[in-house]
Chains A and B, each alone.
Chain A
Amino acid sequence: MSHRALATYMTDKVGPLPFCPGCGHTVLIKALDKALVKLAPDPKQVVIVTDIGCIGLADRHFITNAFHGLHGRSITYACGLKLARPELSVITLMGDGACGIGGTHLLNVARRNIGITLLVANNLNYGMTGGQHSVTTPTGGMTSTTPWGNIERPMDLCGTAVAAGAAWVHRATSFDGNLPDILATAIGQPGFAMVEVWELCTAHYVPRNKFGKKDLIALRQSFGFEHGPLVDRMRPEYTEWHREAFERGRGQAPPPPTIETCYSNRVSRKTGIVIAGSAGQKIRSTATAFAKAAMYTGLNATQKDDYPITVLTGFSVSELILSPETIEYTAIESPDYVILLSADGVKRVRAKIGQLAASCTIYADAALELPETEARVVRLPLEAVSKVTTATAALAAMLTHTELFPHEALEKAFRVFRSPSIAEQNLKAMAEGTALIDMTRQAGSTGGAE
């Protein structure tokens, strides 16, 4: 990290530090400068990220990179910078107010252990907006929004970070003579490091509470909040861990095969197929295999699925459109084929069944009760077929019956896109479905409407 030695990392280009006389922020900022001088980094490799609040006025007084973002969100920009360029030293300055509004980011950066440094300037209230109470205002504390004294309990920011898993946490006050050393140690940590610095807000908290250095130190003791180093534990730093995990992940997901046309079809117009069944019947994946089979015959396809958010229960409906043309409108208003495989499925599409045209064919499990319909109904005794392949058997029966395209296309879709054992299961179900339609045909029940 060492660079040509600099006497200071601060500049007066934009004037002196803007804080009120006696404000603790001035002490913290000067301590940060001393810490940087001690560490001697290249200023181009340091980013000072600031939150909103009086403390957020500080970044532009440094000669390093400066990033001043939204209220409560400074940790997120710091993490984005660090994730993008792990070599950067990213130092975040935020107030106690920012820790309240952006509390989730504090928890999560500590938990993830992203290697940024977080300096919290805790002056027990919102300085910038006029001395309102914050999450760290002491119980009984007078602020502009606690006219009768604060009734809320102050939050232990360091304790919270420790509980969230922070690797390195230290509580200090702006009166600690070794503050620059503490900050330098924090900045030198490989993982997430947090220093909470208790301070005086001389414009608001001090006059409202007749509050001074002694009170600040006494307060800390009365809360039972520990002072000094709170935790120092080795944990894998996130950006490093992320890089390693991704190196392992490389090559794990080769792109799936493309689908060339190798069969012909007899689909001359946009054709809608609705497959309605239950969770566990592999409706969606079977529909996808069927769509890919259609693509092996040169057709275009679309698929939409309808299922409850609780995916392992209830209905599962897939809608397929096959067409030799580009498919524009992707809803099926009047399906050509409806495949009904369970009572849940029938219930879900009941309204549609009632409106089906006479030109539509329903392929229904023989055990199902169906509502009145104009459509032609073909009954399939599917009870002998395994539940996970009923959709495949029914689609194979439909293919045999309609000759939309050859079985080989569907076999190929299973062979190419599914594991060998699943493909075998489905090929077996295709044979079962074909036998069923032959049987039903011989019995003469595929003719008119039922």
Chain B
Amino acid sequence: MPHHPSRGGAAPSKRGRRMGRVFIEGNEAIARGAMRAGCSFFASYPITPASSILRYMLQMIPEAGGTVLQAEDEIASMGFCIGASMAGRRVLTSTSGPGLSLYSENIGLAITGETPMVIVDIQRQGPATGSATKGAEGDIQFARWGTSGGLPIIALSPATISEAYELTYRAFNFAEQYRTPVLLLANKELGVTMETFDEEAVDLPPLVERRRVAPDAPEYLPHLFSSPEEVPAISDFGGPHIARFTTSTHDPTAYLTTNPAAIQEMIDHYAAKIDHAADDLALVREDLQEGADTLIVSYGVTSRSAAAAVTEARSRGKRISSLVLQTLWPVPQAAIRKAMSGVRKIVVPEMNMGQYRIEIERLAPPDVEVVGVMKMNTLLVSPREILEKGNLL
């Protein structure tokens, strides 16, 4: 039986917590969510529209006795964070598209080293430098496939300021529980938009600590599992055991191996621990209507336009359902299939050229029409565009 990390008990840390309504931007909510999740190490390289997270962390981390620094580039940001995580810190880094490109190789390293870490991507209009101050959702498939080897990661996407806070907190829990990098795919339209926020109104699960090897265990095997989906217990560098970490193909000992069977076993493990947790990881918001013939599937800030479109369509007598995905990777397939059942049309609005639509097409029954509402011109998808392109008027 796989041994699961302790999930009960520990209450969310009170650090950085405050009562009542404030008017802050999404990036500040992300920083506050990270502090609430016990973040104790932050490194990042400035990039609009993510830079202010570094500023908020500089304000908040000293109170908590943690470490924060501006790295010389994005590669160093990731390197510092991976080193610090393996030494026991709860780590966060933040960037935008151009920086995520530079994170790529180290994301692979965090996957193979089973390093808990949270990566915030405040997406901006790309490709390349694109428009630094404009919103987009162009990194959705890149987040999933943007590292050599193509092994799974976890990615969450917040739509509102409360979700920016909540999903950052949950991202830490997932990272620590599953020993994996977790990406938070936000949007400039959330990160630097100020909104009314009430921290007290957000319901959080208990804080999850990484499962650690008992201090008196005779030795530490860094990637030990008894069944492929089991998340190996960790022992921090500088802790009670000799620790090892390697970028090379390895067996449970973290010593290099070239044995194909041992290599396959480790690869199967990386995939299985995420796949097996799909239900636990599937965060969605459902607004399903009995007898609906249309379903809107959306995520991120675009889901707020979808919500407005649904209200409008229903006021015109249409029967319509909405599914908002907070978890993008792994694909919450069960929730998507359930929401699809009985509908004839699925509308997928996105601030890109249809990146998540292909996941929906993959899951949709053959007789169901999947319509993408694609926009990648720096502006939000409007509720009207969803209604018009989805033929819902």
Contacts and interface: CB of A to CB of B under 8 A. Distances in A.
Interface of A: 14, 43-45, 47, 52, 60, 63-70, 73, 75-85, 87-88, 104-105, 107-108, 242, 246-247, 249-253, 255-256, 258-260, 288, 291-292, 295, 299-305, 309, 327-331, 333
A446 B254 CA distance: 77
B233 interface: no
A70 B245 CA distance: 11
A67 B222 CA distance: 12
B98 interface: no
A76 B79 contact: yes
A80 B19 contact: no
A449 to B, nearest CB: 26
A79 B67 contact: no
Given A44-B240, A258-B20, A300-B196, A104 B189 contact: no
Contact of B84 (A84, A250, A304): A84
Contact of A73 (B18, B106, B305, B383): B106
Interface stretch (B68-76, B286-294, B328-336): B68-76
12 contacts: A77-B79, A80-B82, A80-B84, A84-B84, A252-B59, A252-B62, A259-B20, A259-B23, A304-B193, A304-B194, A309-B48, A328-B308
Nearest to B59: A253
B307 interface: yes
A292 B88 contact: no
Contacts of A302: 193-196
Given A81-B86, A83-B41, A252-B62, A327 B195 contact: yes
Given A105-B72, A258-B21, A67 B304 contact: no
A149 to B, nearest CB: 32
A77 B87 CA distance: 10
Contact of A83 (B60, B84, B195, B379): B84
Given A85-B88, A88-B237, A328-B308, A76 B80 contact: yes
B67 A331 contact: no
Contacts, number: 206
Nearest to B195: A302
B89 A68 contact: no
Given A52-B247, A246-B62, A76 B78 contact: yes
Given A80-B86, A301-B194, 8 more contacts: A76-B83, A80-B84, A80-B85, A81-B87, A242-B69, A260-B21, A304-B193, A328-B307
Interface of B: 16, 18-23, 41, 43, 48, 58-63, 65, 67, 69, 71-73, 75-76, 78-89, 105-106, 109, 132-133, 189, 192-196, 237-248, 254-256, 301, 304-305, 307-308, 379-380, 382-384
Contacts of B238: 44-45, 47, 65, 81, 84-85, 87-88
A287 to B, nearest CB: 9
Contacts of A295: 21, 23, 196
B389 to A, nearest CB: 15
Contacts of A305: 192
A15 to B, nearest CB: 11
Contacts of A45: 238
A258 B18 contact: yes
Contact of A65 (B18, B19, B237): B237
A78 B65 CA distance: 21
A260 B20 contact: yes
A309 to B, nearest CB: 7
Most buried by B among A65, A70, A88, A252: A65
A242 B132 CA distance: 31
A299 B21 CA distance: 11
Nearest to B304: A328
A122 B122 CA distance: 40
A330 B78 contact: no
A253 B60 contact: yes
B361 to A, nearest CB: 26
A330 B245 contact: no
B99 to A, nearest CB: 15
A299 B196 CA distance: 9
Nearest to B311: A328
Contacts of B193: 302-304, 330
B245 A67 contact: yes
Most buried by A among B61, B63, B80, B380: B80
A309 B89 CA distance: 35
Nearest to A104: B72
A302 to B, nearest CB: 5
B84 A255 contact: no
Nearest to A85: B238
Contact of B244 (A67, A75, A300): A67
Contact of A303 (B41, B76, B194): B194
Nearest to B254: A66
A169 B43 CA distance: 27
Contacts of A85: 87-88, 237-238
A76 B76 contact: yes
The 6 A-B residue pairs with the shortest CB-CB distance, nearest first, are A80-B83, A76-B79, A258-B20, A84-B87, A249-B62, A84-B84
Contact of B308 (A246, A299, A329): A329
Contacts of B192: 304-305
B80 A79 contact: yes
Nearest to B78: A76
Nearest to A112: B69
Contacts of B63: 250-251, 253
Nearest to A307: B133
B102 to A, nearest CB: 11
B254 to A, nearest CB: 8
Contacts of A253: 59-60, 63
B215 to A, nearest CB: 12
Contacts of B196: 295, 299-302, 327
Contacts of A79: 76, 79-80, 83
A14 B255 contact: yes
A262 to B, nearest CB: 12
